[in-house]
Amino acid sequence: MEILKLLSHNILVEEEEIVEKKITNEEAEIFFNNTINEVFEKETKKSYKPRASTTEVISIITRVLKDMDSNEELLENIPKRLLKYEISTQKDIDKLGTKIRKGCLLQAYIKKDGKNYFIITKIEATDGLDMTELKMRDILLSSKKIIKSALFEINEAGEFGDIFLSDTNANISKYWYDDFLELEEVTTDEMNTQKTYGIVMKEIKNKLEKTSPSDYTFCRNACIIFFKTKETFDLNDAVNDIFLSYDFENKEIKKEDIIEKIKRKIDKENLDTQFTLKKDVIKNRLTKMRKRVNKEISIEIDGGVENIKDNIYSTEQNGEKYIIIKSTEEETYKFFNWLDNE
């Protein structure tokens, strides 16, 4: 990786000013190099595209990359623009008692693996970074938090390719993508929800249904609960909730293989790994499971079941196999209340 341009500005909302901080010490260079690598490696992100080629940030980046020396002062307009929208956003959220986190805005022009990139990222000021000296404090040396980032891929002709945004918030902040950067989403949340749900469910079915039915039931149920109860999708959170937080009954199955297959398919479909979940696109028929118990009786599970292991499980008594189902419906329970009367 070759860093061709690196600028840092402190964004001071309360003071309503930006302050450029020259990166002159080795410690700061290492810190920002690590930050840039983290932006590239971040798994949870969402794809965007410019609303127009004439929007301010896009125009500034285009002009600077064509003539970096004579147009460098234009890059100061980017943190100025962010300050403007952080001030207006702060006024909107004052009534909620919320503060926009103070931090520094890093701009970097990079060549990596034969491609050109421009990065804009905001780093929180309180997690070990001294904004005055651009040095790490003695405490929290390994701690830094990228609050928001934008990764622009630029081809040899100076045209913009993929643009990826990430945010520590569950959703990408509107003032960041819409007001400040003037971008719009490439893939809708509805499409992300529908296709990602389909990919995860298909891999659960393909890898587990026949080889480990009990693990299939548990992971299928966990997937439904995640997509139907969470407000946002984060790939790492989803993987943890559906697979990693559960010990498989079949110890021979490698969770990592399933997870990697899901990640590859999501990437191949150009789906986002951070988006707002749209529960209404997941049809009820996609959450139902019907299994025959014997010749005359079937069980139907409608949707996700919290604490499923406590609500339904199988057991064997005197050589006979039974399925035990916890009943919370008194009237239904009465229809099968025979054993108590013997």
Question: In tens digits, what is the pLDDT along the chain, a chain of 342 residues?
Answer: 888 888 989 898 988 999 888 877 777 788 888 889 999 998 889 999 999 889 999 999 998 888 877 677 888 999 999 999 999 999 998 888 888 888 889 999 999 988 899 999 998 865 445 555 544 443 333 445 789 999 999 987 778 899 999 998 888 999 999 999 999 999 999 999 999 999 999 999 999 999 999 999 999 999 999 999 999 999 999 999 999 998 999 999 999 999 999 999 999 999 999 999 999 999 888 899 999 999 999 999 999 999 999 999 999 999 999 999 999 999 999 999 886 555
How much is the pLDDT for 257?
A: 95
Distance CA 271, CA 189 (A): 10
Listed residue (73, 78, 91) closest to 122, CA to CA: 78
How much is the pLDDT for 314?
A: 95
How much is the pLDDT for 82?
A: 96
Listed residue (278, 280, 281, 263) closest to 45, CA to CA: 263
pTM over 0.75: yes
Tokens of 38: 């983290």
In eight-state DSSP terms, residue 73 is G
Question: DSSP 3-state assignment of 219?
Answer: helix
How much is the pLDDT for 251?
A: 94
Measured over the CA atoms of residue 11, residue 15, residue 19 and residue 21, the dihedral's sign is negative
How much is the pLDDT for 144?
A: 55
Between CA 45 and CA 53, with CA 50 as vertex, the angle to 5 degrees is: 150
For 117-132, letters b (16+ CB in 10 Å) and e give bbbbbbbbbebbbebe
Distance CA 185, CA 202 (A): 26
* Residues paired with 164 in a beta bridge: 47, 151
Longest dimension (CA), the chain: 94
Task: Report helix angle 189-208 to 255-268, nearest 10.
Answer: 150
Which residues, other chains included, contact 283 with Cβ-Cβ below 8 Å and sequence gap of 6+? Answer: none
